[in-house]
């Protein structure tokens, strides 16, 4: 059975004091063995959060594909591993848009994360124009083909996929359950075509985009939605705890 995962992407928010306080709150949540919880704090606080977290896994929001070298301002997957990081976000739409990260670069990042034993959370999703002109399925399929589907089945099974329609991120305009389920089912079918049904059934595919306590239950209950990658609602322990509870509820019911 595939894992249910609820993950918080804190982006470039919070002071160090606030981050440590939030991390302590998240670590106190009642997290059953049925669910995996990850947080992705700003890199500067990631080691603090790792030291606090006993039940929650901690990841980086980005990393460079090269191990070491003259890349001012960057941090590598190799360095993440030594710092005890569990995971890394790859292909978040903000990295694609503001830092011009393309499918070829994301492929290198994925390879590097896997080579160093860091679990990649690979984000895909279409902008509004692509949703409106109805080419969103082929757009997302192409993202996966160009960055992910070169992996062997053994490598692929370590990857978490996150479908994050760009028009839903931080906008309050959440995808409907029908829209989310259509895309998640399509992603699972492409994974099945590439790696076989058994691998497809084991793949965790998270939804991200204005997911919050009022819509999480419906989204997480969709057959092919295996939890969420949460931005804004992960910055408040009370909201995040509801999302973790909703994720757990969908497994137990
Ligand atoms: C995100 O940035 O990954 C995200 C899903 O953000 P939000 O939940 O704020 O839309």
Tens-place pLDDT, residues 18-30:
999 999 999 999 8
Our answer on whether the CB atom of 208 is closer than 6 Å to any ligand 1 atom is yes
In a domain, 45, yes or no: yes
Write out the two tokens for 116.
Answer: 């160093």
Q: What is the mean pLDDT of the chain?
A: 96
Proportion of the chain above pLDDT 90, given as a percent: 93
Catalytic machinery residues: 92, 164
Distance 211 CA to ligand 1 centre (A): 7
In a domain, 49, yes or no: yes
In a domain, 188, yes or no: yes
In a domain, 239, yes or no: no
CA dist 89 → 2, 103, 124, 135 (Å)? 19, 14, 11, 25
Our answer on whether the CB atom of 231 is closer than 6 Å to any ligand 1 atom is yes
Q: Which tens digits make up the pLDDT trace of 28-79?
A: 998 888 899 999 999 999 999 999 999 999 999 999 999 999 999 999 999 9
In a domain, 240, yes or no: no
Number of domains in the chain: 1
> What is the value of pTM for the model shown?
0.97
**147 lies in which domain range?**
4-234+245-249
Ligand 1 atom index nearest CA of 169? 10
Our answer on whether the CB atom of 248 is closer than 6 Å to any ligand 1 atom is no
CA dist., res. 124 & res. 126, Å (int): 7
CA dist., res. 177 & res. 209, Å (int): 12
């Amino acid at each position: 059975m595939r894992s249910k995962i609820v993950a918080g992407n804190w982006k470039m928010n919070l002071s160090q004091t606030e981050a440590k306080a939030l991390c302590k709150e998240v670590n106190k949540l009642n997290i059953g063995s049925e669910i995996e919880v990850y947080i992705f704090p700003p890199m500067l606080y990631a080691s603090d959060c790792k030291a606090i977290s006993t039940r929650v896994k901690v990841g980086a929001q980005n990393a460079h594909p090269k191990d070491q070298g003259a890349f001012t301002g960057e941090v590598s997957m190799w360095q993440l591993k030594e710092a005890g990081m569990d995971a890394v976000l790859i292909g978040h739409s903000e990295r694609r848009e503001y830092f011009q990260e393309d499918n070829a670069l994301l492929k290198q990042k994925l390879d590097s994360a896997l080579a160093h034993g860091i679990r990649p959370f690979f984000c895909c999703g279409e902008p509004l124009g692509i949703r409106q002109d109805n080419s969103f399925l082929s757009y997302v399929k192409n993202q996966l083909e160009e960055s992910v589907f070169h992996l062997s089945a053994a490598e692929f099974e370590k990857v978490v996929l996150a479908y994050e329609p760009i028009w839903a991120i931080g906008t309050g305009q959440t995808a409907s359950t029908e829209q989310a389920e259509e895309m998640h089912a399509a992603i699972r079918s492409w994974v099945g075509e590439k790696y076989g049904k058994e691998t497809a059934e084991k793949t965790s595919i998270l939804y991200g985009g204005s997911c919050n306590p009022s819509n999480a239950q419906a989204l997480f209950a969709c057959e092919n939605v295996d939890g969420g990658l949460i931005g804004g609602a992960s910055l408040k322990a009370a909201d995040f705890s509801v999302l973790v509870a909703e994720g757990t509820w969908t497994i137990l019911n």
